[in-house]
Amino acid sequence: VTPEIGVIGLGTMGANLALNIAEAGHPIAVFNRTPEKTFAFAESAGALSERIVPTESLEAFVAALASPRRILLMVPAGDAVEEQIAALRPLLDAGDILIDGGNSDWQDSTRRHAELGRDGLHFLGLGVSGGAEGARHGPSMMAGGSERAYEAVAPILRDIAARFDGEPCVAYLGSGGAGHFVKTVHNGIEYADMQMIAEVYGLMRDGQGRAMPDMAGVFARWNAGPLESYLIEITVEVLGTSDPETGKPILSVIADRAGQKGTGRWTVMDAQRRAAPLPAVEAAVTARVLSGEGAWRSKGAQLFPDPAAGAIGPLSDEQLEQALLAGKILAYSQGFALLAKAAREEEWSMSLPDVARIWRAGCIIRSGLLDDMATALESAEMDLLAFAPAFSERLTQTLPALRATVAAATLSGLPAPALSSALGHFDLLRQARGTADLIQGLRDRFGAHGFERLDRPGEPGQHGPWTGT
Ligand code: 6PG
């Protein structure tokens, strides 16, 4: 068999994508730094191994591929990608296609697209979401870079992608690093989603003193309603799982320090650079950072003791559900606004409804809401999803519960930073006459920075009659 595509890197994601590609009927060459791993992988593939061609060197890998070659890199983002591209480059011919399927920094992908293009090589930066299971049975894929490269690999990508109502969850979103940018924002939203779920879990656990199986039941009910999503589904599983060693709920033995590989932080840094507000993701990143500051938290708990469990008062499960729904809508609204701003600034061709559509299945943030979001974004005159009729109505219904939840958390001293910052940001958005008049007055008073008068629009540089003391 002549492989139609090759995969370099047989870690969990690479190996599973290779099996997925072979299963979809496409012969594939594989290469891993350690030849034993490459051959063991091909042998372990069972019936699929007849479509898998293991190769022992990079030269043999390149030689096995039909021209133009299609090569999918599945190596860790950063130096490993850089080194792999450098090793491959002299072996490739103009017209060959290199696809980076890792969680790369989108700016690296922009640079690689341009650099490789100078040698006539086509580069595709491909964000792949869905974890190990997604890679094996259908991920969501966000493509950016060379449009020709996309056209050349799209048939394979469509065959291996997750499907929503029969539509494959893969799209071309623009040149350079557009695909990796969208994947990064996906991960930022993933951080916010998870943080808000964890905040509500914390309110139930510490504010209402509830047991894990009880909370699992609540999340299971929510998963049958508007919050239906993969993350809620696996929350039910995690809450309901026991530790085989101790028989205790698994969460009671997991250390409360969250890891992060960086994509959430990248999203926030990019948002700040573009002046695109992203408070829910910021709060989620900060909460992960603080989760690692165990010494501060122990000292803080000692100095400022927690209120007793049960202190949160009579918040109903329905209120918590609505609070989570409102928080989620606000977080996604912020995320899509960042995408819109970046797409304008970087001149990417991406369509926001397409982004919502390819997130409907396969990826970690897949949820029932994304289908409605795709429809709303199609007709939204503004980039703000929160203002689209379908969502402004839902927000109007659920905001009272978000306020009640944030207020209860605040009064009882339980943290809900993502929910409350999403709400704080939203309240700024609905304040027609804000308070920046005072900021401007102060700036003019101490630095003569000038302001604009309401009765003389378009004439900045006005000054107050400050006399000082
Ligand atoms: C996905 C995930 C995936 C990975 C994240 C985890 O979409 O499949 O987002 O990319 O699990 O990198 O990120 P952190 O390690 O930063 O939590």
Q: What mean pLDDT comes out for the span 130-154?
A: 97
pLDDT at 310 over 60: no
The CATH H-level superfamily of 5-176 is NAD(P)-binding Rossmann-like Domain (3.40.50.720)
Ligand 1 centre distance from Cα of residue 187 (Å): 6
Residue whose CB lies within 8 A of the most ligand 1 atoms, among 103, 181, 367, for a mutation test = 103
Identify the residue whose C-alpha is closest to ligand 1 atom 9. 187
Residue 379 banded pLDDT, cuts 50, 70, 90: confident
Ligand 1 centre distance from Cα of residue 75 (Å): 14
* Active-site option among 4, 190, 199, 346: 190
Mean pLDDT of the chain: 96
Q: Domains of the chain: which residue ranges?
A: 5-176, 183-429, 442-469
Residue 469 banded pLDDT, cuts 50, 70, 90: low
Q: Which of 107, 418, 416 has its CA nearest to residue 263?
A: 107
Residue 305: per-residue pLDDT: 83
Instruction: Say what the ipTM of the complex is.
Output: 0.96
Q: Phi, psi (5° rounding) for residue 313?
A: 80, -170
What atom of ligand 1 comes closest to residue 258's alpha carbon? Answer: 17
Residue whose CB lies within 8 A of the most ligand 1 atoms, among 261, 288, 366, for a mutation test = 261
Task: Give the SS3 label for residue 249.
Answer: strand
Q: What mean pLDDT comes out for the span 117-135?
A: 97
One fold for 5-176 and 183-429: no
Identify the residue whose C-alpha is closest to ligand 1 atom 11. 131
Q: What is 183-429's CATH number?
A: 1.10.1040.10
* Active-site option among 183, 199, 282, 346: 183
Residue 308: per-residue pLDDT: 58
Per mean pLDDT, which range of 136-145, 178-187, 300-309, 439-448 is the poorest?
Answer: 300-309
CA separation for the pair 185, 356 (Å, rounded): 12
pLDDT at 5 over 60: yes
Q: Which of 322, 345, 257, 252 has its CA nearest to residue 295?
A: 257
Known active-site residue 190 = yes
pLDDT at 253 over 70: yes
Residue 382 banded pLDDT, cuts 50, 70, 90: low
Residue 267 banded pLDDT, cuts 50, 70, 90: very high
For ligand 1, which residues put their CB under 6 angstroms from it?
103, 129-131, 186-187, 190, 259-261, 263-264, 363-364
Residue 96: per-residue pLDDT: 98
In tens, the pLDDT along 270-295 reads 999 999 999 999 999 999 999 999 99
What atom of ligand 1 comes closest to residue 139's alpha carbon? Answer: 8
Q: What mean pLDDT comes out for the span 416-444?
A: 97
Ligand 1 centre distance from Cα of residue 101 (Å): 13
Known active-site residue 183 = yes
Ligand 1 centre distance from Cα of residue 467 (Å): 56
Residue whose CB lies within 8 A of the most ligand 1 atoms, among 190, 265, 363, 365, for a mutation test = 190
Residue 286: per-residue pLDDT: 98
Beta-bridge partners for 242: 249
Are the C-beta atoms of residues 250 and 238 closer than 8 Å to each other?
yes
In tens, the pLDDT along 33-42 reads 999 999 999 9
In tens, the pLDDT along 69-103 reads 999 999 999 999 999 999 999 999 999 999 999 99
Ligand 1 centre distance from Cα of residue 131 (Å): 7
Q: 341 or 307, which is more confident?
A: 341
Residue 468: per-residue pLDDT: 75
Residue 312: per-residue pLDDT: 82
Residue 313 banded pLDDT, cuts 50, 70, 90: confident
**Whole-prediction pTM:** 0.95
pLDDT at 309 over 60: no
Are the C-beta atoms of residues 156 and 21 closer than 8 Å to each other?
yes
What atom of ligand 1 comes closest to residue 365's alpha carbon? Answer: 7
Q: What mean pLDDT comes out for the span 22-44?
A: 97
What atom of ligand 1 comes closest to residue 103's alpha carbon? Answer: 10
In tens, the pLDDT along 201-242 reads 999 999 999 999 999 999 999 999 999 999 999 999 999 999
Residue percentage of the chain with pLDDT more than 70 = 98
In tens, the pLDDT along 436-460 reads 999 999 999 999 999 999 999 999 9
